[in-house]
C-alpha cells in the first residue's frame, strides 16, 4: 500500500474530475460513475495538482488541521492517496 | 422525491454503419427525420444537470452519425455533466477526436466485436475491424479516459484470452467484457449467441487469471449472462431509481428496452419537462416501488437488492411485465430459461439475422 513515492507529485488521471455542481455531496466523477468523498478527502484530492509532492501535501494538511495528530494525518492521507492511485484515479504527474 | 436520477443515457440516433447481430436497439428503430434537434438535446441536458444527473452517456446507434456531436458534448459539459461517448469508432478521425476532447469529452468507450478481423466483421455485418484498430491508436495518443468494450457470446467466448490480450494492446485503461443481453436484435439471435455452460465456466477462470496478471495496468469488468445466474440482475438499479434513457425521437424511458412493454405511454422530452417525467409520469412510477410485485418477490428478502429483476425481460419471456423475471430460479416461469439453456447446451449452429439501418 505505502508504495507511494513521497518526493513525487500526483494528479487526477484522465477522465477523473471533481464534481463542480456544488451539490450537498463531494463527488469524484470517474469513468465508471462517481466516488463519494468523505470528510477531508476532497481537500486532499484538490491538493494533488501535479505540482506539490506528497511530502508537501502532508505538511500542508497538517497545517490545515492543527488540532489533529500530525502522524495520524500522514497515515490517513497517504492511505487514501494509495487507494485512489491503485484504483487508477490518481497518477504520477 | 426519494429518487435522484444519476445517469442519462442519450440514444442520439439509431443510425449506425454497423449491423451487429446482438444490437440492443429495438427492432422498431426511430427514423432520422424524427430525431430530436440539437436545441432539443441541449435543453434536455440542461434540465438533467439541474435535476442532479451526473453522467451523460452519449450512445446510439452510432453517435458519430450525428454531425452536431461536438456541440452536444459541449452542451453537456456546460450543464455540468460527465461526458461519456459509447462508439464503434466508425466516423472518427484525428480532427474530430480533437474537437470532441476540446469540447469536454471525459471518456470514450470503444467497442470491438472480436480480436480477429474475420469474425469481428462477421458479427458486425461490415468490414470495420481494421479501421477500429487505427482509432484505438488515435485515442491512446491523447489524454482522455479510454475503455474498450467487448461483447462476448457463444461464437467468440472460446477466444476470450486472446481478446483480453488484444485489449491490452490497444492501450485502454479499462476493459468491459459484456455478455450479450437478450433484447431487441439479440433476442432474435439468442440460440446462436448464448454460450454453453462449459464456455461460461471457462471464461470466468480466464477473467480471474487476467485480472491477476494485469493488476494495476488494465481494469476488467465482466458482465455475466443472466440466463445462467440464480437470481436476476438489479436491472437499471431499479425502475426509475437512478437512470433514464431518451431515445432518438425524445421518448423518455426507464430502460433501453422498455418500449417493448405494451400499454405504457412514454412521455416525450419535446412535450414535457424532464422533472415531471421523472417524478410524476405514470411510466416512471409504474414499477418504482414494491406495490406491483407478485409472489414470490413480494415476500422475498432479495427484493430490495434485485427489485424482482428486469421488467422487459419478464414481458419478453413470460408475457407479463409485472411477473417475476423468469431468470430467477424461484420464478414460476423459470422453465422458459431452462428450456433455452437445454437447447443451447446440446445443438448445432443457426443462421444470423442482421440488424438493419433505419431510414
Ligand atoms: S449495430 Fe452494433 S455498433 Fe451499431 S448500435 Fe447496434 S450494437 Fe452498436
Ligand atoms: S423472487 Fe423476486 S425478489 Fe426474490 S430473488 Fe427472485 S426475482 Fe429477486
Instruction: Look at residue A73 and tell me if it is in a domain.
Output: yes
| DSSP H or E stretch at residue A79 | helix A70-86
Residue A92 forms part of a structural domain: no
Which residue from B295, B300, B311, B326 has its CB within 8 A of the most atoms of ligand 2, so it is best to mutate? B300
C-beta separation of B57 from B12 below 8 A: no
For residue B331, the ligand closest to its alpha carbon is 2
pLDDT for the residue A1? 43
Let me know if residue A69 belongs to a domain: yes
Phi, psi of A29 (to 5 degrees): -85, 130
- In chain B, whose CA is at the least distance from the CA of A82? B216
**How many Å apart are CA A48 and CA A91, to the nearest integer?**
9
Classify residue B24 as left (phi > 0), alpha (psi -120 to 50) or beta. Answer: alpha
DSSP string, B64-103: GGSTTHHHHHHHHHHTT-EEEEEE--TT--HHHHHHHHHT
Among residues B223, B252, B236, the alpha carbon closest in space to that of B313 is found at B236
With respect to residue A3, please indicate whether it lies within any of the assigned structural domains.
Answer: no
> For residue A22, with 0-12 CB atoms within 10 Å meaning exposed, 13-18 middle and 19 or more buried, which class applies?
exposed
Q: How is chain A split among helix, strand and coil, in percent rounded to 5?
A: 40, 25, 35
Domain that includes residue A71, residue range: 9-87
Tell me, yes or no, whether A56 lies in a domain.
Answer: yes
To which residue does cell 414470490 refer?
B296
**Predicted pLDDT at B57:** 97
Interface touch B145/A15, C-beta < 8 Å: yes
How far apart are the two ends of chain B, measured CA to CA in Å?
40
Here the CATH number for the domain that contains residue A20 is 1.10.10.1150
Residue-level pLDDT at B240: 95
DSSP A22: -
pLDDT tens digits for range B107-149: 999 988 877 777 777 777 766 777 888 899 999 999 999 999 9
What is the per-residue pLDDT across B250-286, written as a single tens digit (0 to 9) for each?
A: 999 999 889 889 999 999 999 999 999 999 999 999 9
Q: How confident is the model at residue B225 (pLDDT cuts 50, 70, 90)?
A: confident
* Tally of domains within chain A: 1
pLDDT at residue number B220: 95
Amino acid at each position: 500500500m505505502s508504495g507511494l513515492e513521497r518526493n513525487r507529485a500526483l494528479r487526477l488521471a484522465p477522465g477523473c474530475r471533481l464534481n463542480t455542481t456544488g451539490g450537498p455531496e463531494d463527488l469524484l466523477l470517474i469513468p465508471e460513475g462517481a466516488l463519494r468523498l468523505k470528510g477531508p478527502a476532497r481537500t486532499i484530492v484538490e491538493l494533488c495538482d501535479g505540482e506539490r509532492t506528497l511530502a508537501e501535501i502532508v505538511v500542508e494538511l497538517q497545517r490545515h488541521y492543527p488540532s489533529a495528530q500530525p502522524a495520524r494525518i500522514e497515515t490517513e492521507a497517504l492511505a487514501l492517496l494509495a487507494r485512489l492511485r491503485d484504483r487508477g484515479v490518481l497518477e504520477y504527474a | 422525491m426519494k429518487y435522484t436520477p444519476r445517469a442519462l443515457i442519450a440514444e442520439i440516433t439509431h443510425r449506425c454503419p454497423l449491423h451487429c447481430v446482438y444490437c440492443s436497439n429495438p427492432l422498431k428503430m426511430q427514423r432520422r427525420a424524427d430525431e430530436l434537434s440539437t436545441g432539443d438535446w441541449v435543453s434536455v441536458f440542461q434540465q438533467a444537470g439541474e435535476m442532479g444527473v451526473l453522467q451523460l452517456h452519449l450512445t446510439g446507434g452510432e453517435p458519430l452519425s450525428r454531425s452536431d456531436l461536438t456541440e452536444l458534448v459541449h452542451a453537456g459539459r456546460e450543464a455540468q455533466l460527465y461526458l461519456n461517448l459509447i462508439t464503434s469508432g466508425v466516423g472518427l478521425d484525428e480532427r474530430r477526436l480533437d474537437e470532441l476532447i476540446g469540447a469536454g469529452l471525459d471518456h470514450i468507450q470503444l467497442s470491438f466485436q472480436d480480436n480477429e478481423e474475420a469474425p469481428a466483421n462477421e458479427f458486425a455485418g461490415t468490414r470495420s475491424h481494421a479501421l477500429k484498430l487505427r482509432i484505438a491508436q488515435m485515442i491512446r495518443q491523447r489524454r482522455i479516459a479510454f475503455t474498450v468494450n467487448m461483447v462476448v457470446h457463444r461464437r467468440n467466448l472460446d477466444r476470450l484470452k486472446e481478446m483480453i490480450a488484444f485489449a491490452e494492446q490497444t492501450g485502454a485503461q479499462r476493459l468491459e467484457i459484456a455478455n450479450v443481453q437478450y433484447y431487441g436484435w439479440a433476442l432474435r439471435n439468442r440460440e446462436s449467441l448464448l454460450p454453453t455452460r462449459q464456455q461460461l465456466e471457462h471464461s470466468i477462470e480466464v477473467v480471474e487469471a487476467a485480472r491477476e496478471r494485469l493488476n494495476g495496468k488494465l481494469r476488467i469488468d465482466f458482465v455475466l449472462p443472466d440466463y445462467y445466474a440464480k437470481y436476476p440482475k438489479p436491472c437499471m438499479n431499479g425502475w426509475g431509481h437512478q437512470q433514464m434513457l431518451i431515445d432518438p425521437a425524445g421518448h423518455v424511458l426507464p430502460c433501453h428496452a422498455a418500449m417493448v412493454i405494451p400499454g405504457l405511454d412514454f412521455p416525450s422530452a419535446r412535450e414535457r419537462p424532464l422533472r415531471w417525467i421523472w417524478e410524476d409520469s405514470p411510466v416512471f412510477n409504474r414499477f418504482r416501488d414494491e406495490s406491483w410485485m407478485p409472489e414470490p418477490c413480494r415476500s422475498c428478502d432479495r427484493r430490495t437488492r434485485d427489485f424482482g429483476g428486469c421488467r422487459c425481460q419478464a414481458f419478453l419471456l413470460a408475457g407479463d411485465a409485472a411477473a417475476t423475471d423468469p431468470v430467477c430460479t424461484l420464478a414460476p416461469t423459470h422453465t422458459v430459461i431452462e428450456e433455452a439453456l437445454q437447447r443451447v447446451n446440446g445443438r448445432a449452429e443457426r443462421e444470423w439475422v442482421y440488424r438493419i439501418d433505419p431510414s
